[in-house]
Amino acid sequence: MALKDLSVMVVEDHGFQRRMATRLLAELGVGTVFEAMDGQSALDRLRACDQPPDIVLVDLDLPGMDGVELIGHLAQEGLAHAVVVASALEPSLLGAVQSMTRAYGMRVLANIEKPLTSAKLGEVLNSYSTHEDELDPCEGVDCSRQSLLAALDAGAIVPWFQPQVTLSNGHAVAVEALARWVLPGGAVARPAQFIPALEREGLIDRLTECILDGACAWKTRWAAAGLHLRVAVNVSPLCLTSAEVVETYLRIVRAHGVEPREVVLEITESSVMGEAAQALKVLARLRLKGFGLSIDDFGTGYSSLSQLSQIPFTELKIDRSFVSGAPRQPRRRAVVEASLELARKLNLDMVGEGVETVEEWQMLADLGCAFAQGYLIGRPAPGQQLPEVVAHWRRPQG
């Protein structure tokens, strides 16, 4: 999306700073800029809009309804696509607001420290354009049980692949398989648009098996062409309740001539921290059979060191919310550094997710992270395009 097509609302009570923000946005070429001087007037105006703005640039320290309360309303009522927090307040408070906003399900582009500059705003606005394909659900996605079953039966839900590379030399060593639903007409729905419905309808096991099967099939095709990559597949916590999944996953990978050690199963941190006996049993058996186990989105759950040491993980993935912007945000960098140190002590492979800039790449390399994944390296792509994505990738020169 070009900047001229963006719409931005500025919510700032200080007149000079509000005018400065709108002027900078106009100079950058933003197509539609409007403003409000406090939280309540911003809400009133947004509720009257036919379409929500792309971005709301909000100061936290507002009179009456403060910016934190305003963001809560924006998220709960769907009054904006994304938020940018502009404030001179302490970083820990800004980090808490960012985490709160994400928990509400709204995208946070950045925390910008005042005073605003053209360079700061330009970088943030361009990041919105980079991710425009992730913002809104496809119109008309039918997530009824009948439609979901038909899609699974027809093979319309398929894996796309995002490369993981070594930070030391930039070589592609693995891919993460990400579910995509190819809709009639060619539109592509992303996981957040249909996976909750699959879980609700009790169909998540079928999805996992479908993605694992497709990933192994592509792995075999790539290997025949000389491209050897491990594959990582996400596993819902709901799949860990059945002992049968161990034999099912073994059967799928072996049907393609793939060894379990070439497959990593990614488990979200919060899904295994309850110490449910059945989940631990399944994870232990999967590891015993040779599958790699990755703790995904590390740092977003509420794990303890003792729990982590008791679960047979082989890999730790640092969540993108910590990697993004970490080179310029000391608190995020500290979380990344501590996570990597923990991984080293537990003898786990380390993957940094969401790497989008050369600065983030260099930071992970400097901190001793082993692998990186993110848009800097490549976007998720269909299996037939993955070799080209890998071939065009070039390691940044530090």
| CA distances for 30 relative to 10, 25, 110, 292, angstroms | 12, 6, 17, 46
Considering 315, 353, 356, 360, which one is annotated as catalytic? 353
Q: What is the CA radius of gyration of the chain?
A: 22
DSSP string, 210-222: HHHHHHHHHHHHH
Q: What residues contact 45, with CB distance under 8 A and at least 6 apart?
A: 9, 34, 36
Q: Which two tokens stand for residue 222?
A: 């790539």
Q: Does residue 381 sit in helix, strand or coil?
A: strand
For residue 349, the number of C-alpha atoms closer than 13 Å in the C-beta half-sphere is: 19
Pairing state of beta strands 172-182 and 157-166? antiparallel
Give the sign of the dihedral formed by CA 218, CA 224, CA 225, CA 227: positive
Q: What residues contact 97, with CB distance under 8 A and at least 6 apart?
A: 60, 67, 68, 71, 85, 111
Told to judge if 353 belongs to the known catalytic residues of this protein, a careful annotator would answer yes
Catalytic residue annotation: 353
